Amino acid sequence: MELRQVAVPLADRPYTIHVGSGALARLGELVQPATEGQSAAVVADETTGALFGGRVADSLERGGWRCRLLTVPPGEASKTLAVAEHLWAALADAGMDRVSVVFALGGGVIGDLAGFVAATYMRGIDFVTVPTTLLAQVDSSVGGKVGVDLPQAKNLVGAFHQPRAVVVDPDTLTSLPDRHFAAGLGEVVKHAAIADANLFDTLGREADRVRARQTSLLGDIVARNGEIKASVVSRDPEERSGLRAVLNYGHTVGHAIERGARAWELLHGEAVAVGMIAEAKVAARLGLSDAEVPAQLEALLLRLGVRTSLAGTEVNVDLAVRALRTDKKIVVGALALPVVAAIGSVEMTNAVSVDELVREVESLAE
């Protein structure tokens, strides 16, 4: 089957996202032009290793690679320095050198962890992401942010380390648990809301086929999301100019309620979905957007099966509000907030006070 190629035009390190059904079986040939090495460490979690490790190893070995599969337990709990240390040691024991390549086979946890290991082993070796969750395919695998969690906070230690290539096989999504699939759709809707009204309409029209995980449609959606993220990231690769901040739509409130929820009660993409609606309501109330944006977002998310409220989830409002008030982006009581003025277009504003957002979070949790 024909694969789609999306260019990520970074000035010093451009790379390609390859998307399409059957891409996993062609991994070896796809990454060959982008890397020098011939020895591969495939980092996976136990689930993605069992599901896809064999197919990936076959494909790499057919391409002439020597291949070692390293697995860690699934879940956020593996995104730690202790697990990174275990992987560094495993790379050393396997004789991996400066031209070896780390392949991240899994969701965002594996991408962040394996990318961090690749960024630091021997002061940085190449890595390739092979994302297998929708969230990782449309979001975390592109952009070069890698890292691990500390007990103090998530993603506190990390680096920017751009992959050499991203290879996405939408067939992998067939086995993804429903809740993780829906959470990934939260980020898809975010990309559509900030950048592509057509995609927003398509998602609404094709919601049933999306929910049925029709592979070719998912491939189109992933490729379009890659283009959107790539166009933002390539203008601000290391989050210096502020341009990249538009990707944080829904994330100010989203992060706050994530902090207030008990671990695992709220997935990141679910929090972003609820956060987008909340931020959109505040913006509409202040006249910063079309009045109908919150309802448009809510209707699409519902149609796609993404949760739109905190009903049934216990959220500690004090913790959430504290997270909001100590947001690193706050300058004199206001923060730079992305606002979708109309579906498909986003701008940054300082016109929303933290108090407005706090009121909205309090009403969410009622």
Binding residue count for ligand NAD, defined by CB under 6 A? 29
Q: Does 26 bind ligand NAD (CB under 6 A)?
A: no
CB of 353 to ligand NAD, least distance (A): 27
Pairing type for strands 4-8 and 15-19 reads antiparallel
Q: Which of 21, 25, 55, 75 binds ligand NAD (CB under 6 A)?
A: 75
- Cα–Cα distance list, 40 to 25, 123, 295 (Å): 15, 17, 48
CB of 173 to ligand NAD, least distance (A): 6
Angle separating helix axes 178-195 and 215-235, nearest 10 degrees:
50
* x/- letters, 30..69, toward ligand NAD (CB under 6 A): ---------------x-xx--x------------------
Contacts of 311 (CB under 8 A, 6+ apart): none
Contacts of 264 (CB under 8 A, 6+ apart): none
Q: Which of residues 258-297 bind ligand NAD (CB under 6 A)?
A: 268
- 103: enclosing H helix or E strand: strand 101-106
Q: Does 133 bind ligand NAD (CB under 6 A)?
A: yes
Q: Does 18 bind ligand NAD (CB under 6 A)?
A: no
Q: Which of 83, 100, 138, 139 binds ligand NAD (CB under 6 A)?
A: 139
Q: What is the rounded distance in angstroms from the CA atom of residue 294 to the CA atom of residue 278?
A: 8
**CB of 100 or CB of 140, closer to ligand NAD:** 140
Q: Which of 135, 194, 245, 300 binds ligand NAD (CB under 6 A)?
A: 135
Q: Does 252 bind ligand NAD (CB under 6 A)?
A: no
**CB of 219 or CB of 294, closer to ligand NAD:** 219
**CB of 63 or CB of 74, closer to ligand NAD:** 74
Cα 46 to its chain centre, rounded Å, is 20
Residue nearest to ligand NAD (CB): 108
* Distance spanning both ends of the chain, measured CA to CA: 50
Q: What is the rounded distance in angstroms from the CA atom of residue 272 to the CA atom of residue 274?
A: 5
Closest residue by Cα to residue 193 from 23, 347, 361:
347
Q: Does 132 bind ligand NAD (CB under 6 A)?
A: yes
Report CA torsion sign: 74, 163, 136, 265: positive
Residues that bind ligand NAD (CB under 6 A): 45, 47-48, 51, 74-76, 79, 106-110, 112, 132-133, 135-136, 139-140, 143, 145, 154-155, 172, 175-176, 180, 268
